[in-house]
Structure 1
Amino acid sequence: MDLKDIDLNLLVIYHHLLMERSVSGAAAKLGLTQPTVSNALKRLRTLLGDELFLRTSRGMEPTPYASQLAEPIAYALSTIHNTLNQQTTFDPTTSDRKFVLGMTDLGEIELLPKLMQRLENIAPGVTLSTVRSNSDSLRNEMEAGHVDLAIGLLPQLKTGFFQQRLFMQSYVCLFRTGHPLAKGKITQRQFFDADHAVVVSAGTGHAQIDDIIESKGPGRRIRLLVPHFVAVGHILAATDMISTVPELYARRYAEPFKLSYAPHPITLPKIGINLFWHAKYHKEPGNQWLRNIIFNLFSTPSS
């Protein structure tokens, strides 16, 4: 097959179909109509002699051939994009660039206020957008340049990525002030007998902590499962449930929500929170600038 036979736009549509796993999702990302994306997929199927994507209950699943094409096409598109938009310098005082960061909602709570305050002073035109760092597509999105940096404990980001330690995170028990357990040291028996509110955050350091807790006892009496930390303070303040949370979170919300926290009765390891970026963007000026800002703001001497 000759390159002259390939319409580059077809490969762009293929890449977004791979990321979104739906015609409507790809169309929305590209600002196109669904018929336009469907017609492009039809053309690409004819050109490559493969179905490429099959409709399933989980969305548009790639065929083995489509999966085989994923990495080289993502790399080629990223290379073309970066070449056409290459910058040798980055001036934060005049830039209107939009950076995308992968982080959990807890990361947003802890890091974004201070980071945005800093950017307001030194880069007034720069904007940030966040995506979840536990997304299955994060690795591909960072490789393609759609996500600039990611923060957290992210074991899936190894080969092809750089990382830099920001800080170590420890865990405590959090509960309302006046809770029956707020009388001293909490025993493991008291911990497992209590009602728990648990934040489910697959693929993160918090999920690893949950696995360790479950391996140490008879199992918690879990009364509530939530997918984020945003509501935890409100929930604990109004109930007798307890929750295992990072100490930074406990410190921030103990006073506003009239909560108390205590050392965890189970010996839990500290979790390293790192800053990640793809090797392809190691020397990209804007990426270098933002990761230096983040490191200077949040790294601790003990890290």
Structure 2
Amino acid sequence: MHAMHVRDLDLNLLSVFDALLRERSVTRAAAEVGLTQGAMSHALNRLRAYFEDQLFVKTPTGMAPTAKAAMLAPAIMEIMAKLREDVVSQAQFHPQTARRSFTLCMTDMGELVFLPPLMRQLRKFAPHCTLRSVQVPLPQVKDMLASGEADLALGSFRTAPDDLFQQLLFLHEFVTMVSVRNTAVGDTITREQFETLRHIVVTLASPGGAAYDAAFDEHGIRRNVYLSTPHFLAVPLLIDQHPDLIATVPLELGNVFAKLGTVKIVPPPVPLPPFGLRQFWHPRFHEDRANIWLRRLIKETFEHYPDVRTD
């Protein structure tokens, strides 16, 4: 087909063709595409002129496609499907009907804190969407967000790249976790006990503990570090099996593990600054409707943490 002839085709007419093909009625097709019956008849006449064929003719059972219309139908239906799925669907985001997977970068502690409340909210407001959690080194987070492989990063990335957008969700405090079988430590832990007992320290690519490490240094407290691990979830099991070990962890983590009955939490012997948990996203997706919706959902879910929304 000549290029000039291609430019003569109004793409809106393809939606008219598609509706007539499915509805077999000028009235019903007009209602579907939002036209009056007169405007629909005019659009059909334009289609007939363009393709030099009647395309749809009246029969006792409705508007039937001609042989040429039947020949054109597969290609036009495919074009309309691609437009709806790959173009129109990107212009808006309707959570109740959307079918997509959201990918979040977070640590195992982040999964423990964020996923249960977020899953409840997502299943309520976007029932056909799913979640995927990935743990990647900090230097790779920006590339994951830029490429769209991940939608958001959630956590305490104190050295996150400056060109990422970020939003504070809530502040976390620290507690010290002790085995319930460690009878030497009661409801509080003394500085002497804190310095004498051996510690488990969680080390991440971007240490969330940098602030409280500095606080210990400022107070001249030296921790007797026995084990460093990148995994928060291993800590309570290790303390249960080795009651002489202790660990200083975020409050929510300590609360969850204390419910298991094998460990208890006590205030650290010195005041520690809280740290902020944030969500991060790449500028490429700052105006993306689905990303905006997800960010808003997460902010609304956690802005009153720990009294998160569950309704």
TM range (shorter): 0.5 to 0.7
Alpha carbons of 1:87 and 1:113: their partners in 2 closer, same or farther (altered >3 Å)? same
Q: Which amino acid aligns with 1:129?
A: R
Give 1:271 deviation, angstroms: 0.3
Alpha carbons of 1:301 and 1:199: their partners in 2 closer, same or farther (altered >3 Å)? closer
Partner of 2:275: 271
Separation in 2, partners of 1:120, 1:132: 23
Give 1:200 deviation, angstroms: 1.5
Deviations 1:105-141 (A, max 9, x none): 1010111012112222222221111222643111122
**2:106/2:135 contact within 8 Å kept:** yes
Q: Which amino acid aligns with 2:168?
A: R
Separation in 1, partners of 2:163, 2:226: 41
Alpha carbons of 1:250 and 1:205: their partners in 2 closer, same or farther (altered >3 Å)? same
Q: Which amino acid aligns with 1:173?
A: T
1:119 matched to 2:109? The reply is no
1:193 matched to 2:196? The reply is yes
Deviations 1:8-35 (A, max 9, x none): xxxxxxxxxxxxxxxxxxxxxxxxxxxx
Partner of 1:203: 206
Partner of 1:298: 302
**Which has the higher Rg, Structure 1 or Structure 2?**
2
Give 1:166 deviation, angstroms: 0.8
Separation in 2, partners of 1:211, 1:127: 39
Separation in 1, partners of 2:271, 2:259: 25
Separation in 2, partners of 1:301, 1:175: 24
5+ residue gaps in structure 2? 1-85, 307-311
Partner of 1:17: none
Instruction: Indicate which of 95, 99, 103 corresponds to 1:100.
Output: 103
TM-score (norm: length of structure 1): 0.66
Instruction: Indicate which of 196, 219, 222 corresponds to 1:219.
Output: 222
Give 1:211 deviation, angstroms: 4.8
Q: Which amino acid aligns with 2:163?
A: G
1:88 matched to 2:91? The reply is yes
**1:102/1:133 contact within 8 Å kept:** yes
Give 1:230 deviation, angstroms: 1.2
SS, match of residue 232 in structure 2: coil
Partner of 1:253: 257
Give 1:155 deviation, angstroms: 3.3
Partner of 1:175: 178
Q: Which runs of 4+ in 1 moved over 4 A?
A: 83-86
Alpha carbons of 1:269 and 1:181: their partners in 2 closer, same or farther (altered >3 Å)? farther
Separation in 2, partners of 1:85, 1:224: 53
SS, match of residue 173 in structure 1: strand
Separation in 1, partners of 2:180, 2:142: 41
Q: Give the root-mean-square deviation of aligned CA atoms.
A: 2.4
Alpha carbons of 1:184 and 1:123: their partners in 2 closer, same or farther (altered >3 Å)? closer
Give 1:176 deviation, angstroms: 1.3
1:149 matched to 2:147? The reply is no
Deviations 1:70-95 (A, max 9, x none): xxxxxxxxxxxxx9797111122222
Separation in 2, partners of 1:216, 1:134: 31
